[in-house]
Amino acid sequence: MNIRKDLRNIAIIAHVDHGKTTLVDKLLHQSGTFRTNEHVEERAMDSNDLERERGITILAKNTAINYKDTRINIMDTPGHADFGGEVERIMKMVDGVLLVVDAYEGCMPQTRFVLKKALEQKLTPIVVVNKIDRDFARPTEVVDEVIDLFIELGATEEQIEFPVVYASAINGTASVDPEKQDDNMEALFDSIIEHIPAPIDNSEEPLQFQVAMLDYNDYVGRIGVGRVFRGTMKVGQQVALMKLDGSVKQFRVTKMFGFLGLKRVEIEEAKAGDLIAVSGMEDINVGETVCPSEHQEALPVLRIDEPTLQMTFLVNNSPFAGREGKFVTSRKIEERLMSELETDVSLRVENTDSPDVWVVSGRGELHLSILIENMRREGYEIQVSKPEVIVREIDGVRCEPVERVQIDVPEEHTGSIMESMGARKGEMVDMINNGNGQVRLIFMVPARGLIGYTTEFLSLTRGFGIINHSFDSYQPMQAGQVGGRRQGVLVSMETGKSSTYGIQGVEDRGTIFLEPGTEVYEGMIVGEHTRENDLVVNICKMKQMTNMRSANKDQTTGMKKPRIMSLEQSLEYLNDDEYCEITPESIRLRKKILDKNEREKIAKKKKYADMK
């Protein structure tokens, strides 16, 4: 059996913020892929604005480097479980993985999530203990934790005998000895070449190419990125595309690209083992196979995790609709949602009875909020409802998604965390005391119990807690209300501009969400009430000006700082009878029914119906 000794295909997997993208940066620099005078930004692989701002990877990306006589194709994957759809497909394209683990934090929920996917695909792992230069780094204990995790996830004996490289990606150093670092990353390059299997060279056999990712370009249309599993592919070749629905389409390969550094390089031919991008197929989808017309043989379809959360997207119909956005019509919004489906395979968009309403399903709150944030920046105006979990029927039983939650908190906060988790139907499965005043708690919690939990969690731990969660499984639905907001809201009774005087008048009733001078409309949510019921307030009230001197003279009082909420916080905050209005310049919370009397009528009817 021939193998391609000049090629290695690897994916870099890790928990969020353990240093995958920085590691790829340093590998690119040290391999000599860039010219010496070439300007390259830090975290070069995170190319999109949102990725740069948030410091997270959202889309899987590929690059390639040349080291000695070997081409190493590297896939940088996201760490967030919300983008697990990306990770899963990448595993099919590679022969081994670099599992990056923080030398202080050790194994985290997403480390578990991504490693499980890699082991299921029987990939060869190399463990990189990163951030070895951190204070309190504990490399040997972390390696033990990783071994325990491998055993727990049912790894084979060969997989458990993984090589370990200790590195500091930020400094560009690595070694196989935890005590001292070499001043370059050669130890890691050598481990990749020595331990990651080279692809089989069966380029004489009939072609099989499978698409694992989609890209889109205005000039050439849809681009399929994937791996040649067998045979050879050439520009101009007539091939058959085996569709997921069983149909077959004929097309000609118009362009092919290979990868080197951050660039796509046009190529004429690709052989078994190569990772390439192909254009010329209008409606190619993830998981479809390209093969010769005379030898049609499809590869097994890639399994993609189903969405677990859904939201209703609506055309903005608030009193301020159309003031700030360029795209406000249902036709424009629908076109934008459909174009997102071109590249995001974990997303679902369903039409409803109304032409102005769509149900959008995704892998989690972050997944959907990234889509909303992108649309907002592009000039769209929309309204969205509270996120809801997707309930499935499995063997006749209603089941809901359950998340595995890992919480790291100072010891004194463990009691309040356990109590709040208990109220959200959380079940504790483990508690580890590291002995340094920090406790790690692990719970299984219904996903609906975590919607809106972040704000409560931060106030319970005074900002010192760290919470991570990833989808675990579908389990029978728990009865009763789980989670949700306890507090009522302050709702504006009129349309106008909020005034300092008006805000000061209602400050003692709760927390205000906006600055003086902000435009508000009737039915808009302007703050959180201290009690459980909603309260209608007038924050546009102006002081009566008279020419009489007041006996108690104006007291110049200081105003409390308003709580300005981000997009994610606003989405988490919503209740069933509320919408979040999103425009390029504003994020507003509002009641679905703006008129106070109408709301009261409906509430009375509901109460009467419940009594029956």
pLDDT value at residue 535: 93
Predicted confidence (pLDDT) per residue in 24-36, tens digit: 878 877 766 544 4
| CATH domain 489-543+561-577+588-611 topology | OB fold (Dihydrolipoamide Acetyltransferase, E2P) (2.40.50)
pLDDT value at residue 67: 85
| CATH domain 7-195 topology | Rossmann fold (3.40.50)
Q: Which residues are annotated as a binding site for GTP?
A: 17-22, 130-133
Average pLDDT along the chain:
83
Q: Which residues are annotated as a binding site?
A: 17-22, 130-133
CA 601 to chain CA centroid, Å, is 40
Rounded to 5 degrees, φ, ψ at 382 are -145, 170
Asked if the model's pLDDT at residue 565 lies above 70, the reply is: yes
pTM above 0.85, yes or no: no
Query: How do the domains of the chain map onto residue ranges?
Result: 7-195, 208-292, 392-476, 489-543+561-577+588-611
Q: How far apart are CA 13 and CA 175, in angstroms?
A: 19
pLDDT value at residue 549: 57
Predicted confidence (pLDDT) per residue in 55-102, tens digit: 443 344 578 888 888 888 888 776 555 555 567 678 888 999 999 898
Q: Which CATH superfamily is domain 208-292 in?
A: Translation factors (2.40.30.10)
pLDDT value at residue 498: 92
Neighbours of 146 (CB within 10 A): 22
The one-character DSSP state at 206 is P
In the chain, the percentage of residues whose pLDDT exceeds 70 is 88
Asked if the model's pLDDT at residue 558 lies above 70, the reply is: no
pLDDT category at 46 given cuts 50, 70, 90 is very low
Nearest C-alpha neighbor of 70 from the set 8, 136, 149: 8
Mean pLDDT of 245-250: 84
Rounded to 5 degrees, φ, ψ at 97 are -130, 150
Query: In this predicted model, which residue has the larger pLDDT, 340 or 337?
Result: 337
pLDDT value at residue 591: 95
Query: In this predicted model, which residue has the larger pLDDT, 142 or 365?
Result: 142
pLDDT-wise least confident of 276-290, 305-319, 331-345, 567-581: 276-290
Query: In this predicted model, which residue has the larger pLDDT, 611 or 417?
Result: 417
Nearest C-alpha neighbor of 362 from the set 287, 487, 482, 447: 447
The domain defined by 392-476 carries CATH number 1.20.1260.10: no
pLDDT value at residue 262: 67
Q: How far apart are CA 430 and CA 441, in angstroms?
A: 6
pLDDT value at residue 179: 84
